[in-house]
Structure 1
Amino acid sequence: MKAKILTILNLCLCLLMIQQVHSQTDEVGYYKAPLSNDTSRYRARNSDFLYHVSTGGNFGLQVGSYTYIECSPHAAYHFNKWVSVGLNFSYSYLRYNLQSNHIVGGGTFAEFYFLKYLALHAEYLLLNYDNIYAINPKDPRRIYSHNLLLGGGYYQKINESYAVYFLALYPISNRPQQPFLSFPVFKVGFTFWPKYL
């Protein structure tokens, strides 16, 4: 319990330090109102579907006696600057002590942005993996794990097209007899808006 509390306190401290450093060097370009009264170009840009779509994902790699490889792309639609919803796909490969496991899955997520850099994140993730708990030969070889993840994170926009993010999520619905996801789940990745490239 103490380790969890210390981990959360360290993450909060890191986020505050990152915010302090960024507030000293904020060079993000902001939208400026058009000089003329003709706003048709701005309205057309705001109504264009692709201006509201972002893609990205995260990649994980650990090699050694315990091998872990993960690739998780996602796509999101931003209704406005405060709310987005999206779909994600996940593939992971694990290898430990001559046993390996391929984990595939996908899900949906919603994000709510506030305070310019922070976000609340809710995600439903369905995973399919080898049943390492099987004792009886009649047990299924692969099983499904339904996971509801809740948490928050920090988003840093690099420019109009790119952003990086850090999320800490807690799986609140994983079955205790099959604990697949660690507590908490950390995600570090990138997002980009293809229409702005």
Structure 2
Amino acid sequence: MNKNSILLILLLGICLNSFSQIYVDKNGNVYDQRKTTATNTSQRTLPQKKSASSFDVSKLSIGGNLSLQFGDYTLVGISPQVGYDFSKYLTAGAGLGYTYFKEDFYDYDYSGSYLSFNLFGRFYPVEYLVIGVQPEISRLWQILKYNDGYKHSENEFVPSFLIGGGVRLGGMIAMIQYDVVQNKNSPYGDNLFYSIGYTFRF
């Protein structure tokens, strides 16, 4: 067998291999198996990307405080809050509050209510400790009723900014807090105060 015959056989083999991957059916449709194979391979190897900033419902929490006091000074308050755990060290969220109060004096009665909106952040440096900040704006309505029949009423916006620290035991948070703004009509007064709340998680 001479060299020309060998070259002819090799060329025929290459052509047959190409035709086996590219063919035409009886309707005249052209099929290229090489492109299909390459496409399928690339589809199998492409990884699916996951969203890095997806919202996780399990990190939501609902909690707040309930205040009750009766006697010469009556106080009823509720302040629900919704928070989100951005990490195991930080929870932030927002809340609403409503407080009704009434105090009886010798010659007049003093009553009013607050409707509040707040933002809060809580930092957990270690497992059982919590540090908190809470800016808040409240709408105050108050009435003074004197025994001689005279009445005086006023309403205004009252800003507050609470800072404090405390302990966290499970879902319970107990804190000592202070209002640094010290508005004369602050619902938190001018002294340190304590609060106890409970948080429920989804």
Shorter-chain TM range is 0.5 to 0.7
Alignment deviations for residues 2-49 of structure 1 (CA, whole Å, 9 cap, x no partner): xxxxxxxxxxxxxxxxxxxxxxxxxxxxxxxxxxxxxxxxx99xx652
Superposition deviation, residue 170 in structure 1: 0.9
Letter in 2 for 1:146: P
Higher RCO by CA contacts (8 Å cutoff, separation 6 or greater): 1
Instruction: Pick the structure with greater CA Rg.
Output: 2
- 1:1-197 equivalences under 5 Å are 49-97=56-104, 98-130=109-141, 141-157=154-170, 163-175=171-183, 177-182=184-189, 183-194=191-202
Superposition deviation, residue 141 in structure 1: 2.6
| Contact preservation (8 Å) 2:143, 2:153 | no
Letter in 1 for 2:164: G
1:13 aligns with none
Task: Provide structure 1 residue ranges, at least 5 long, that are not aligned to the other structure.
Answer: 1-42, 134-138, 158-162
| Contact preservation (8 Å) 2:110, 2:143 | no
Q: TM-score, normalised by structure 2?
A: 0.63
Letter in 2 for 1:82: Y
Of all paired residues, the percent bearing the same amino acid is 24
Q: Does the residue aligned with 1:188 lie in a helix, a strand or coil?
A: strand
Q: Does the residue aligned with 1:51 lie in a helix, a strand or coil?
A: helix
Letter in 1 for 2:88: K
Q: Does the residue aligned with 1:141 lie in a helix, a strand or coil?
A: strand
Q: 1:190 to 1:90 in 2, by over 3 A?
A: same
Q: TM-score, normalised by structure 1?
A: 0.64
Q: Whose strand proportion is higher, 1 or 2?
A: 2
Q: 1:76 to 1:149 in 2, by over 3 A?
A: same
| Contact preservation (8 Å) 2:160, 2:186 | no
Q: How many residue pairs were aligned?
A: 140
For residues 140 and 78 of structure 1, what CA distance do their matches in structure 2 show?
42
Runs of 4+ in 1 over 3 A off after TM superposition: 177-180
Q: 1:140 to 1:151 in 2, by over 3 A?
A: same
Task: Provide structure 2 residue ranges, at least 5 long, that are not aligned to the other structure.
Answer: 1-49, 145-151
Letter in 2 for 1:155: R
| Contact preservation (8 Å) 1:131, 1:143 | no
Superposition deviation, residue 57 in structure 1: 1.1
Q: Does the residue aligned with 1:114 lie in a helix, a strand or coil?
A: coil
